[in-house]
Amino acid sequence: MSFAELKLSESILKAIAACGYTEPTPIQARAIPEALLGRDLIASAQTGTGKTAAFMLPALERLATLKKGPKGAPRILVLTPTRELASQVTEATRTYGRFLRIRSAVILGGSSYREQFQALSQPLELVVATPGRLIDHLDRGTISLDRVEILVLDEADRMLDMGFQQAVEKITAATPAERQTLLFTATLDKTMTQLAARLLRDPVQIALAPQGATAVQVEQRLHVADNLEHKQRMLEHLVADNALNQAIIFSATKRDADRLAQALSSRGHSAAALHGDMNQGARNRTVRNLRQGRLKLLVATDVAARGIDVSGISHVINFDLPKFAEDYVHRIGRTGRAGATGTAISFVSVHDLGALQRIERYIGKTLPRHVIPGMEPSRSLSAPPRSPRKPRPAGVSGKPGGKTGGTGGSGQRRTGGSKRSQSANPSKAPQVIYRHSR
């Protein structure tokens, strides 16, 4: 199928051609015709499949023959869970809408209100927003959703995971009932189906990838790690490999991301952290540096890295395994974008067995074990830990200096449990190990 067969207007086809796309991806081929017919959609497609264009092209098509929109009342609203994804969707709007006169605004938490007030006081047609700040504007009366014709819920599953369900429902209730709703989700569980039943009208369901399917073009590997120091050595080896162009390295906590990025930088690598504690300006700069190839290694937490789409990323390294299986799929989807190949490497210690089993069950396959010659693990994954730690009283970390965080603390969201803190050698605090490794 060609894009021309999708019956998009000339200016959109021209923009697609300028991107170098020769044919629609499967999700685009299925979703665009239905969306152009005005149908509601619930589409489950894995990340990296071209889903942004799958909703953005029909949305822009609706705007292609547009008269000037009213002030602060968009016709298209795209809701995304994170600021990074919102920025990315905004960029896609500019790319695909470059030959259209479309004014868009991006409404994000952590960004200046002044600019947003200014943008919303102008006529505009399209708004990309994260739910929290959009509710804020709704409450202040600085935006009206009365004229929304198309509502897109991008990565809706993640919005629910992040606790935005009420916000999403409130925002939806502020849009006209006769709007068209396009819901994209990586996973389609009961909660999502129930949400869809409330928000969508007679939707066309498009399920391209079986739930949990991982991008086929991503080679996945598992390295058994003894402890944090072993992970450090393996990481050092991997980042020195010429085959690695750019990598996202996932850590369990924001503090770990900072420490690891610092440790890598101090060893002469071009590395930076990306996490939710950084201000929006710093986050944008970091993602821009990554996109422009000025940054080779990005050490990130799950939420921050969601939606990052940089074609140069050859490797994803799970320095820490994600606690939730869906996050594994999202993480490795940062590489192997749009037909490129990529490598996803996970460091797994004996204490991560539970998380590993959940991931392998979810993706429906066993991750192949790899060993770096000279860095063999001293024990196999199935072996029980040598000396299980006794639970400590709350507030006692057992690390020099009494600091918390460090090796563990995967409790970024959903649970506060810190399973992984048991995985590293308990006698070594991360601060000490990072210092040693410089």
Query: Which residues in this chain contact ligand AMP in the complex, by CB under 6 A?
Result: 21, 24-25, 28, 47-53, 309, 311, 337-338
User: Which residues is 151 bridged to in the sheet?
Assistant: 77, 181
Q: Shortest distance, CB of residue 273 to ligand AMP, whole angstroms?
A: 23
Neighbour-count burial for 41-74, b at 16+ CB within 10 Å, e otherwise: bbbbbbbbbbbbbbbbbbbbbbbbeeeebeebbb
Q: Could you give the count of Cα atoms lying within 13 Å of 75 in the half-sphere of its Cβ?
A: 19
User: Which residues is 346 bridged to in the sheet?
Assistant: 222, 318
Nearer to ligand AMP, 24 or 405 (CB): 24
Nearer to ligand AMP, 61 or 352 (CB): 61
| Pairwise CA distance, residues 191 & 195, whole Å | 6
Q: Shortest distance, CB of residue 375 to ligand AMP, whole angstroms?
A: 34
Q: Shortest distance, CB of residue 338 to ligand AMP, whole angstroms?
A: 3
| Pairwise CA distance, residues 170 & 378, whole Å | 53
Nearer to ligand AMP, 5 or 277 (CB): 5
Q: Shortest distance, CB of residue 251 to ligand AMP, whole angstroms?
A: 23
Inter-residue contact 302 to 325 (CB < 8 Å)? no
Nearer to ligand AMP, 16 or 127 (CB): 16
SS3 content of the chain, % helix, strand, coil (to 5): 40, 15, 45
Q: Shortest distance, CB of residue 369 to ligand AMP, whole angstroms?
A: 30
Cα distances (angstroms) measured from residue 307 to each of 71, 201, 235, 327, 423? 29, 27, 24, 12, 29
Closest CA to 158 of 377, 356, 311, 333: 333
Nearer to ligand AMP, 260 or 290 (CB): 290
SS3 162: coil
Closest CA to 145 of 176, 180, 170, 116: 176
Nearer to ligand AMP, 262 or 311 (CB): 311
DSSP, res 378: S
Nearer to ligand AMP, 256 or 302 (CB): 302
Q: Shortest distance, CB of residue 309 to ligand AMP, whole angstroms?
A: 5
Nearer to ligand AMP, 211 or 437 (CB): 211
φ/ψ (deg, to 5) at 92: -60, -35
Q: Shortest distance, CB of residue 47 to ligand AMP, whole angstroms?
A: 6
Structure tokens at 186: 């990586």
Q: Shortest distance, CB of residue 221 to ligand AMP, whole angstroms?
A: 23
Q: Shortest distance, CB of residue 329 to ligand AMP, whole angstroms?
A: 13
Q: Which positions ≥6 away from 168 have C-beta within 8 Å?
A: 79, 131, 153, 156, 159, 160, 195, 199
Nearer to ligand AMP, 85 or 129 (CB): 85
Q: Shortest distance, CB of residue 308 to ligand AMP, whole angstroms?
A: 9
Cα distances (angstroms) measured from residue 295 to each of 19, 276, 317, 341? 23, 19, 16, 20
Nearer to ligand AMP, 211 or 262 (CB): 211
